[in-house]
Amino acid sequence: MAEIMRITPAVTIPDHLLGQVQSKLAYVDEDIAAASISSDGTIELQLRNGNASSESLEEKVQRVVAEMAKGAMQPKVEVLEDHLGRKVPFASDPMSELMSRGELSLEQTGIYSFGPMVTRLIEVFESYFLELATEFGAKPQRFPTLISAEKLGRVNYFRAFPHSLTFATHLREDLDTISDFAEHAAHEAAGLNTPPESFARIQALLSPAVCYHLYFALADKPLPDGKLAATAVGHCFRYESNNLTTLERMWDFTMREIIFVGPMDYVLENREAARKLVAEYLEKIGLAYKVESANDPFFVGEFRKQSAFQNAFQLKYEIRAQLPFKNETLAVGSYNHHQDFFGRNLNITLPDGKPAHTGCVAFGLERLAYAFLCQFGLDSTKWPAPIREAFVG
């Protein structure tokens, strides 16, 4: 029986943190099916079967709120571009029509397949991103879908984003284990019935980002020519738990990145030049959006310090597209500067011996297509000319 539990947080959650705290509540307990925070600050949890002890649940919720919100400073939101007022012709939610036309199908929570129209629309955006990459002399690269556990550990990923990791494993090399699996493996409501000890220790994960692979490839060496620009597209995996409810948050999505490695000025100048070129393109296609400062979704213990740091040093800006049907915005891309974090941790050195700076421009391809369809609808004859002309329907 589903149950509702209400908790009044001991620490008041400031408005700017409501979304961040709410999304972290999904990870508090497996019994939580959904979490929301009402306007008076009360937390409401929908429990799956009410098995969790209410004291321990409340204690964990209070801990999340305290760690994220206690003494949190209101960040200065810096808006670099504001084109949310652009008139767009469509204002409905395209999800059900995408589903009924076979343009979108849900394989499992957070896992989607796309039909020919969405695929071609994504290819139109991709051909622009490849053009943009050539403006920076960014050479194409191909990266794996798996990512090294050893290397992710080296860049502190486990500490910063443990909640959203997706692990890759395989059966242990043991005849009895493999034979037993072959004979008995079956999927039950809670998942495969395989005992956890049948699986090997984790050596690899499913990659959460594209640019990390480039930094790993450059690790422990001087950077050739002292600077480098590259581009790649890849599947990325972020387990977003109960937040995986629509196309807005997927477990498996694709990202196109243009990546800069070199001295700080080189990275910052290119990040800014890319932003200006992207702004021209988004104006040409008439997208309603804004670009504003943002932070990464660090886990509870790291959240306050790391997000304040990102804000203070202007490390992250997001392209947030308007979703007219719900009057909210959705991040479809980001402009990032990691300072010399990867250079230091991975020992990527510049000719003067200092660690390299890195930065990237990242686009979420499914989200961009989704936001575009939210603003312009599914009838390609009504799309803005630059997209319509490039679209081979």
Interacting residues with Zn ion (CB under 5 A): 211, 257, 360, 362
What is the nearest approach in angstroms of ligand AMP to the Cβ of residue 208? 8
| Rounded Cα–Cα distance for residues 374 and 166 (Å) | 29
| Maximal CA-CA distance, the chain | 65
| Rounded Cα–Cα distance for residues 18 and 16 (Å) | 6
User: Which of residues 285 and 362 has its CB atom nearest to ligand AMP in the complex?
Assistant: 362
Applying CB under 6 A, the residues found at the interface with ligand AMP are 209, 238, 240, 249-250, 253, 255, 296, 318, 331-334, 362, 364, 366-367
User: Which of residues 69 and 360 has its CB atom nearest to Zn ion in the complex?
Assistant: 360
Q: Within the chain, where are the H helices?
A: 18-25, 54-69, 95-100, 116-135, 149-154, 157-160, 175-184, 211-217, 264-285, 300-312, 341-346, 365-376, 385-390
User: Which of residues 35 and 362 has its CB atom nearest to ligand AMP in the complex?
Assistant: 362
What is the nearest approach in angstroms of ligand AMP to the Cβ of residue 319? 7
What is the nearest approach in angstroms of ligand AMP to the Cβ of residue 318? 6
User: Which of residues 335 and 376 has its CB atom nearest to ligand AMP in the complex?
Assistant: 335
Q: Which does 249 bind (CB under 5 to 8 A by kind): ligand AMP, Zn ion, none?
A: ligand AMP
Q: Which does 211 bind (CB under 5 to 8 A by kind): ligand AMP, Zn ion, none?
A: Zn ion
**Residues 42 and 5: beta-carbon distance below 8 Å:** no
What is the nearest approach in angstroms of Zn ion to the Cβ of residue 358? 8
**Residues 91 and 325: beta-carbon distance below 8 Å:** yes
What is the nearest approach in angstroms of Zn ion to the Cβ of residue 334? 8
CA angle 307, 308, 310 (to 5 degrees): 65
| Rounded Cα–Cα distance for residues 5 and 2 (Å) | 10
User: Which of residues 304 and 338 has its CB atom nearest to ligand AMP in the complex?
Assistant: 338
User: Which of residues 77 and 192 has its CB atom nearest to ligand AMP in the complex?
Assistant: 77
Residue 124 contacts by C-beta under 8 Å, 6 or more apart in sequence? 387, 390, 391
| Rounded Cα–Cα distance for residues 16 and 73 (Å) | 10
Q: Tokens 């200092």 identify what position?
A: 354
Q: Which does 103 bind (CB under 5 to 8 A by kind): ligand AMP, Zn ion, none?
A: none
What is the nearest approach in angstroms of ligand AMP to the Cβ of residue 67? 21
Q: Which does 255 bind (CB under 5 to 8 A by kind): ligand AMP, Zn ion, none?
A: ligand AMP
Residue 285 contacts by C-beta under 8 Å, 6 or more apart in sequence? 372, 384, 386, 387
Mapped onto helix, strand or coil, the DSSP state of residue 199 is: strand
What is the nearest approach in angstroms of ligand AMP to the Cβ of residue 90? 20
User: Which of residues 62 and 254 has its CB atom nearest to ligand AMP in the complex?
Assistant: 254
| Rounded Cα–Cα distance for residues 168 and 174 (Å) | 18
